[in-house]
Structure formats: structure tokens, C-alpha cells
């Protein structure tokens, strides 16, 4: 025989289900801290922006933008997503191609000092050869990067 729920039991059941759906809907993808350093020709990169671009070739189809300012050779990546719940400190798990933005000829300098030149391949997600997997428990230095000017 089928169990018959009282009006009160149905109300409680519906309320619990609605609460559960709200909790799941507001969570967004899990993000983990992604901090590290960038060296240009063996010296800390003094400024610019680093981008973690989802690597679709390795199964990362996240619709997010992950970036950080680079200050004194260090960065701490933050995610901006389509939904507010997708936005915040850290990066969703998965593979990323790494690209940069630094002072470009003819534009206002992003940071003080002489214009910084890096190898052009690092300026685009399509041409960069830098890749990193964002993992839950990275080894020390996992996100440290070394790039060249030539």
C-alpha cells in the first residue's frame, strides 16, 4: 500500500526539498587557492596580469575567467563567472593554459619602470605553451612559473 502523507508532512517534505535545491543551486563550482610566482629571465616579474584560461583540449569547459595582478613576482588568482556563485577567490579544479598581459608598445604602462617585454607566445591562450593543472592539494611551488623574454 502506498503511504499517505498528512498535510503537515507534505509541507515539511516540500520545504526540505526546496531548501536542498537552494543549497545546491547557490554553490557554484568548487574553487581552490592558486597562488604562485612568475620569473622573467630569472628575475621576479614586477607587474602585469596572469590569466588562467580553461584548457578545453584537456576537458576543462568551465565558463569562467581566472586572473590576477602580478605584484613583485607574485600572484593570487580570482575567478569571475557567469553567475555570482561562480565568482570569488581561487580557481575551479582542472587544466588551464597560462597567458599574460604586460606593458604593450603604445599603451599606458601597467606598472612603473621600463617597459617589460616577454616572449609573444605567452600573450595568448592560443599560442602559450604554459599549462597547469589546478588541484586540490598542490605541492609547494606547483603554480610557480618561469618565462623568457625571447
C-alpha cell at 142: 606547483
* Nearest alpha carbon to residue 75 among 125, 39, 127, 119: 39
CB count within 10 Å of CB 19 equals: 10
Measured at the alpha carbon of residue 117, what is the angle toward residues 113 and 121, in degrees to the nearest 5? 150
In this prediction the pTM is: 0.76
Domains of the chain as residue ranges with CATH: 31-147 (2.60.40)
- Residue 38 to residue 17: CA distance in whole angstroms: 47
Q: What is the pLDDT along the chain (150 residues), one digit of tens a residue?
A: 455 656 665 554 444 444 443 333 445 578 999 999 999 999 999 889 999 999 999 999 998 999 999 999 999 999 998 788 888 999 999 999 999 998 755 555 555 566 678 999 999 999 999 999 999 999 999 999 999 998
Amino acid at each position: 500500500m502506498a503511504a499517505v502523507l498528512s498535510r503537515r508532512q507534505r509541507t515539511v517534505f516540500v520545504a526540505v526539498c526546496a531548501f536542498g535545491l537552494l543549497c545546491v543551486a547557490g554553490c557554484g563550482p568548487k574553487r581552490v587557492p592558486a597562488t604562485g610566482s612568475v620569473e622573467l629571465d630569472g628575475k621576479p616579474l614586477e607587474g602585469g596580469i596572469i590569466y588562467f584560461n580553461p584548457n578545453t583540449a584537456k576537458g576543462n569547459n568551465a565558463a569562467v575567467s581566472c586572473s590576477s595582478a602580478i605584484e613583485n613576482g607574485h600572484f593570487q588568482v580570482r575567478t569571475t563567472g557567469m553567475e555570482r556563485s561562480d565568482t570569488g577567490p581561487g580557481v575551479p579544479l582542472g587544466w588551464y593554459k597560462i597567458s599574460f598581459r604586460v606593458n604593450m608598445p603604445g599603451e599606458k604602462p601597467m606598472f612603473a619602470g621600463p617597459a617589460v617585454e616577454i616572449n609573444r607566445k605567452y600573450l595568448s591562450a592560443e599560442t602559450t605553451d604554459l599549462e597547469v593543472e589546478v588541484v586540490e592539494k598542490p605541492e609547494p611551488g606547483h603554480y610557480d612559473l618561469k618565462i623568457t623574454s625571447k
